[in-house]
A and B are shown apart, each in its own frame.
Chain A
Amino acid sequence: MLKVELDDDRAVVIVGSGAGGGTLANELAQKGVAVVLLEAGQRQSPESFINDEWASFGQLAWTDPRTSSGSFRLAKDFPNLPAWICKTVGGTTTHWAGASLRFRAHEFKTLSTYGAIDGASLLDWPLDLEEMVPFYARAEDKMGVTRTNGIPGLPGNNNFKVFYNGAMKLGYKDCHTGRMAINSRPRDGRPGCQQLGFCFAGCKMGAKWSTLYTEIPKGVATGKLELRTRCHVSRVEHDTAGKATGVIYFDADGREQRQRARVVCVAGNSLETPRLLLLSESARFPDGLANSSGEVGRNYMRHTTGSVFATFEQPVHMYRGTTMAGIITDESHHDPARGFAGGYELETLSAGLPFMAAFLEPGAWGAEVTQMLDDYAHMAGLWVVGEDLPQSGNRISLSDDAVDQWGLPAAHVHFDDHANDIAMRNHGYAQGKALYEAVGARRVHFTPPFPSTHNLGSCRMSADPEKGVLNRFGQTHDVPNLFVSDGSQFTSGAAVNPTLTIVALAIRQAEHIAGQLSARAL
């Protein structure tokens, strides 16, 4: 087992152990690079995960104080929970549903494809699909994505059957049980899916890919990776030359520690990553570390989302089996004739009774809500997930009043829906309603966005250092040995769930960092 001394400055220090940080840690360790992986949360396991929605939320979710503002409905419904991400080893890979889709070529080139759009800060990525393809392939193999590498698709559950039949009636062509990082049969030392449901509560089978029980133990086994849990990083430090020298963190006992580093990689999710850079302001970097562009925290994206739940004469029992049990990709293309740029996916979604009551129509009461719940066992559901446009004013900043348990300013999330987002959401709602009515829905309800699980873009890549924070490898334009390794890197959000792309970027970034270390360029 590796044990790195605090004053040893030869290791790569990674902040956050989710899809980006956990993958990067293992990839570097496999190449013989010493890594210290700092995780703010505690370590759970499939054994300790709980098949109970609220109890699991308490176990896994990041519930440190946050604040929010803007026209998006979450600022009203859940002002202190704008995002639903996790504080635990494995990060939000414990909670994610498993959908693993590649960007389409045009989604890396949104400014070129969509053209300039009023109010949007569209930009092309400084990389393209062609160079990402080999990394996507490695990510799919690593994660065991169904319908790749000869891995069969998962069997569809009842919620999928309703979804599929509705899709066929609407004339959709591309509907199946998805490309999921959930084992449809035993693979990589993990069992096949037993259709528990509770994908969002941590997979008690370990059938769903999570860095918790794949990347991290594999990395630790190399003897090159040290994982430290309950270590909350509060600052990235630098020297007079402007190079990162290490991090300050609060350890499990609340003591401040300084871990020296050769390279620092921040992967705290698109809320905590810019917050950490902003907290790391100094005389040399008065607006926050690596923020000479002023873009740290800006262009925050959360996908255009919304859900459609419908009730039927006959039972469905949507909660049985995988939460995201199928996908329709027919609306994922770019077709401005629909009244918006970009596209969206339709994916099945279910919730147990406790979350259904809480999220069906947040804040509401009375018969409209309860009559839907009376038919809970006869309910089917789907989620609209589409590309939202980056906007400069949609940003993560430091709260003026709220602080966390360490006394540090909390993350403040400001988000205004763009007209394009609203048009897309309404189109998705209408299609979802038509889909369910085509198979006999009695009642259809449009559920507003949940606290965000897809948090993207707040430290985006840009070819031009004035328009973003990172270069094409996730390396900050300002500080050569400081990287960002999570969804904050995204220059656009695409119409797809982001985890596969985060993992592919981490694999690619590990190659770059290892190469630079070998060449003594870092």
Chain B
Amino acid sequence: MGHVYGQPPDRSRRAFMRHSAALSGTLWAGSGALLALAPGKGWTLELGQLDAHAGRTLLIATRHIFPHPKLDDAVYALVVKDLDEAAADSAVRDLLAAGVAGLDHAAGGDWLALGSDEQLALLRLGDGQPFFEKVRATAVVSLYNNELAFAHFGYEGEAFSKGGYLNRGFNDLNWLPAPDQDASPSV
């Protein structure tokens, strides 16, 4: 199977996939908003389809595609979770396998072992290709559509159960003058 990273080495899919595997980490000390939501500092993502190397590679690839230096790996892991679930479809599993193997091949063995700039330079070669686009299109939804990301970026999400924002700051901005009453009547 040819692709932009060149021919991957002959590596059986069974060796690559289908291992019981997990990604884990510890919430960063600076992730205050996330620490408030989490039961503890440690996090673990059980993988059903991908092995730990593929999971870690996809996590770091997503960090390059949507770089938020202050956003914890725990949130990026949610993208890996969705990719892992999508990989229950064998076509997706093959696409991700070939993509990860291709990055490693292009890196001369282990893409994760490269420096950040070299990682990005190789990853970029696949921009617009199916593997890259699968990761990007999954991430643009998964990375930003969860409570951890909401807390990190300062979005408050669901509002109805809290009575909306009428009494919770919909017009609390005070660094500009208040508009005229005619333009914006009081509540």
Q: Which A residues contact B (CB, under 8 angstroms)? A: 51-54, 152-158, 160-162, 164-165, 175-177, 184, 193-198, 204-205, 314-317, 319-321, 326, 352-354, 356-358, 365-367, 369-370, 373-374, 376-377, 439
Contacts and interface: CB of A to CB of B under 8 A. Distances in A.
Residues of B contacting A: mostly: loop
B184 A365 contact: no
B184 A376 contact: no
Contacts of A358: 140-141, 144
Contact of B145 (A177, A354, A369): A354
Q: How large is the interface on B (under 10, 10 to 19, 20 to 34, 35 or more residues)?
A: 35 or more
B42 interface: no
Contact of B171 (A152, A321, A370): A321
A365 B166 CA distance: 35
A153 B184 contact: yes
A160 B184 CA distance: 9
Contacts of B108: none
B185 A377 contact: no
A319 B156 contact: yes
Contacts of B157: 51-52, 352
A164 B173 CA distance: 12
B177 to A, nearest CB: 6
Interface in B138-168: 140-141, 143-145, 149-150, 153-161, 163-166, 168
A367 B176 CA distance: 29
Contacts of A165: 176-177, 179
A178 to B, nearest CB: 10
A370 B68 contact: yes
A164 B168 CA distance: 21
Contacts of B155: 319, 352-353, 376-377
A174 to B, nearest CB: 9
Contacts of A195: 164-166, 170
Residues of A contacting B: mostly: loop
A176 B66 CA distance: 37
Nearest to B62: A365
Contacts of A373: 68, 144, 153
A214 B171 CA distance: 29
Contact of B165 (A316, A320, A365): A320
A320 B164 CA distance: 8
A158 B178 CA distance: 10
A156 to B, nearest CB: 3
B65 A164 contact: no
A353 B150 contact: yes
Contacts of B150: 353
Given A54-B145, A352-B157, A320 B176 contact: no
Interface string B58-85: 0000000111101000000000000000
Given A51-B158, A321-B170, A321-B171, A196 B179 contact: no
Given A352-B157, A354-B144, A366 B67 contact: yes
Nearest to A174: B183
Contacts of B156: 317, 319-320
Given A54-B141, A195-B165, A321-B171, A155 B186 contact: yes
B40 interface: no
A155 B160 contact: no
A197 B165 contact: yes
Between A52, A177, A316, A320, the greatest number of chain B beta carbons within 10 A of the residue's beta carbon is seen for A320
Nearest to B150: A353
B172 interface: yes
A77 to B, nearest CB: 12
A155 B169 contact: no
Given A157-B170, A165-B176, A321-B165, A152 B185 contact: yes
A153 B184 CA distance: 7
8 contacts: A52-B157, A155-B187, A158-B173, A161-B173, A196-B159, A198-B159, A357-B140, A357-B143
B153 A164 contact: no
A370 B177 CA distance: 30
Contacts of A314: 173, 175
B183 A196 contact: no
Contacts of B161: 51
A358 B138 CA distance: 11
Contacts of B179: 156, 160-161, 164-165
Nearest to B187: A155
B93 interface: no
Contacts of B169: 158, 317, 320
Nearest to A197: B159
B153 A194 contact: no
Contact of B68 (A161, A176, A374): A374
B170 A158 contact: yes
A369 B64 CA distance: 12
Given A51-B157, A155-B186, A376-B153, 19 more contacts: A52-B157, A152-B185, A153-B185, A155-B184, A156-B183, A157-B170, A162-B173, A165-B176, A184-B185, A193-B164, A196-B159, A197-B165, A317-B173, A319-B156, A320-B170, A353-B155, A354-B144, A365-B136, A439-B176
A377 B164 contact: no
B49 to A, nearest CB: 23
Contact of B141 (A352, A354, A366, A374): A354
A463 to B, nearest CB: 40
Contacts of B171: 155-158, 160-161, 321
Contacts of A320: 156, 159, 165, 168-170
Contact of B158 (A52, A365, A369): A52
A196 B164 contact: yes
B182 interface: yes
B62 to A, nearest CB: 10
